[in-house]
Amino acid sequence: MDTTQTQQTMTWKVTGMHCSSCSILIDENVEDLEGVTSSNTSMKKKVTTVTFDISRCNPAQIAAAIIGAGYQAAPATDAPRTARRSWLRRATG
């Protein structure tokens, strides 16, 4: 089977990280999943980017692994963008 057709990369927004050990714990949990090629968590950016084989692993399993490590996770594309501009509404409202 050609794995290049089934490889997918997704990014999750992760909350609850406090130090670099948190990112290591998340990566270890996610990389334990069958079908995950790589997991890269940035504490500074508060995101986890995962490359995985969609025929062996799905996004819900990856989110569950992040949550199982003790953090909150949401696909980066679904993360609310209003939080960054909430100060503007307060300042002008």
Domains and CATH numbers, the chain: 7-92 (3.30.70.100)
pLDDT computed for residue 2 by the predictor: 52
Mean pLDDT, to the nearest integer, of 14-32? 96
Poorest-pLDDT segment among 7-11, 43-47, 64-68, 80-84: 80-84
Query: CA-to-CA distance for 91 and 11, rounded, in angstroms?
Result: 32
Instruction: Report whether pLDDT(77) > 70.
Output: yes
Coil, strand or helix at 16 = coil
For residue 69, the SS3 value is coil
More confident residue, 44 or 91: 44
| Cα 80 from Cα 65, distance rounded (Å) | 22
Q: What is this structure's pTM? A: 0.77
Strand-pairing partners, residue 40, are: 49
